[in-house]
Amino acid sequence: MKESKIRLAIICGGRSTEHEVSACSARNVYDAVDKSKYDISLIRVEKFGGWKLLHSAAELKETPGVQDPETSLPAVQSSVSRESEMLQTIASSAVERGLDVVFPLIHGAFGEDGCLQGLLRLLNIPFVGASVLGSAIGMDKDVMKRLLNHAGIQTARFRVVTRQTARRISFSELQDELGECLFIKPANTGSSVGISKVMNAEQFARSLTEAFRFDEKVLVEEAIIGHELECGVIGNEEPQASVVGEVIVHGEFYSYEAKYVDENGAALQIPAPLSAEVSERVRALSIAAFKVLNCVGMARVDFFLADDGRLLVNEINTIPGFTNISMFPLLWEATGVGYSDLIDRLITLALERHATLNQLSYEIQTDVPTVEIPE
């Protein structure tokens, strides 16, 4: 008897500043998925908030550097829904097409911050990646860093600024505390959107204004001189770490342009030229950070290896990029897990996690026997 295919939905796009990156990731995942195992639906969330069930992968926005994938999809009715109808769109797709699992590939706000995960959890649909809580923690750089520091995992020194406190903080005060060169970062964006490097009060004022365009909370962080390292993690209860890679930045820092626009903006070196001892430290800390931040499924953990010897966690990405130049799939390929196999593993982890959660009881029972604890 022929085994039925797993019905997989890939959700991409989104209202965030990383819409194009998400579409690029979706094209690559669709192209890599084993079509003999999966019956695939594509859902794109438009920038204005509408949800569209696509006819084919060809409807995804063309992105430089991405080869045209196979574009045929099972026949579906293309539709665009308003924000108020998005629940109906995904719910009807789940019922009519009988979705088995969803692969969320919306980077940034409304996709990587727990919003989409909460919707899928509410609908009881298995999904790849972190839980609602893990996604929200991973997205908020302030909360993430405080939790890591509390667990004894070092990060760069930072201060949090809001619109209210910005009026009471001087640039010279921050320099005295954090150093002459500072980085300004919105707390809840990815792909280096809204990040600026500042050296004087005038740059600081402009950069704060820019960062507040994207978030209500902004981090002011010390500049770290050293190497930028990245490590992939996959797993649920027993996560595993990939080999370590290095990002060699050719500009002032790893900006959005260096990542996705300028072909010469940065280079990736996999594996990173590290001693075995340092590499193992990075891998061990990646798993530790993954656990501390309540992550499951997958994540990419980014580090600074400072010239003074400090190994600092920069951030965690619970929906890392899956473009053809993204570090996460390349790290796993170098570890011995090919793109298609990586997707298989992530989907298996999602289904296993969902089965575990569905074993939990949400009903109050009055006749539960008392558990005897030995003295």
Q: What is the dihedral of CA 182, 278, 189, 351, to 10 degrees?
A: -170
Q: Crossing angle for the helix pair 115-122 and 86-96, nearest 10 degrees?
A: 50
* Closest to 45 in 3D by CA, of 2, 135, 105, 96: 105
CATH of the domain at 177: 3.30.1490.20
Specify if 150 maps to a domain: no
Specify if 336 maps to a domain: yes
Specify if 22 maps to a domain: yes
- What is the Cβ-side half-sphere exposure of residue 308, based on CA atoms within 13 angstroms? 6
What is the distance between the alpha carbons of residues 130 and 319, in angstroms, rounded to a whole number? 8
Work out the widest C-alpha separation in the chain, in whole angstroms: 73
Report pLDDT for 255. 43
Cα separation values, 8 from 5, 19, 43, 57, 69, Å: 9, 21, 11, 14, 17
Residues 335 and 316 reside in one and the same domain = yes
Report pLDDT for 195. 87
Report pLDDT for 258. 44
Residues 218 and 233 reside in one and the same domain = no
Specify if 186 maps to a domain: yes
Q: Crossing angle for the helix pair 171-178 and 201-211, nearest 10 degrees?
A: 90
Quote the number of domains for the chain: 3
Give the domain extent around 208.
157-222
Residues 200 and 248 reside in one and the same domain = no
* Token pair for 200: 């004087």
Residue type, 224: I
**Helix ranges (DSSP H) in the chain:** 19-32, 86-96, 115-122, 132-139, 141-150, 163-166, 171-178, 201-211, 256, 276-292, 327-335, 339-357
> What are 323-367's pLDDT values in tens digits?
888 999 999 999 999 999 999 999 999 999 999 998 887 766 666
> What are 218-246's pLDDT values in tens digits?
999 999 999 999 999 999 999 999 999 99
Residues 283 and 343 reside in one and the same domain = yes
**Residue 235, helix vs strand vs coil:** strand
Residues 172 and 238 reside in one and the same domain = no
Report pLDDT for 21. 85
Domain boundary among 184, 203, 222: 222
What is the distance between the alpha carbons of residues 154 and 238, in angstroms, rounded to a whole number? 23
Element (H, E) at 234: strand 226-235
What is the distance between the alpha carbons of residues 57 and 41, in angstroms, rounded to a whole number? 9
Residues 120 and 176 reside in one and the same domain = no
Residues 238 and 218 reside in one and the same domain = no
Residues 209 and 246 reside in one and the same domain = no
Specify if 51 maps to a domain: yes
What is the distance between the alpha carbons of residues 137 and 121, in angstroms, rounded to a whole number? 17
Question: For the chain, give me the number of helices (H) and strands (E)?
Answer: 12, 14
* Residue ranges of the chain with per-residue pLDDT less than 70: 1-3, 61-97, 190-192, 250-266, 363-372, 375
Residues 18 and 67 reside in one and the same domain = yes
* Token pair for 350: 């999602």
Specify if 316 maps to a domain: yes
Residues 217 and 254 reside in one and the same domain = no
Residues 172 and 71 reside in one and the same domain = no
Report pLDDT for 125. 93
Residue at token pair 């998400």 = 22
pTM: 0.85
CATH of the domain at 69: 3.40.50.20
Which residues on adjacent β-strands are paired with residue 234?
240, 298
What is the distance between the alpha carbons of residues 324 and 362, in angstroms, rounded to a whole number? 42
Report pLDDT for 86. 56
Give the other-Cβ count within 10 Å of 338's Cβ.
12
Residue type, 179: G
38-45/6-13 β-pairing: parallel
Which residues on adjacent β-strands are paired with residue 9?
41, 102
Reading phi first (left if > 0) and then psi (alpha if -120 to 50, else beta), residue 183 is in beta
DSSP 103-128: EE---STTTSSSHHHHHHHHTT--BS
Residues 239 and 256 reside in one and the same domain = yes
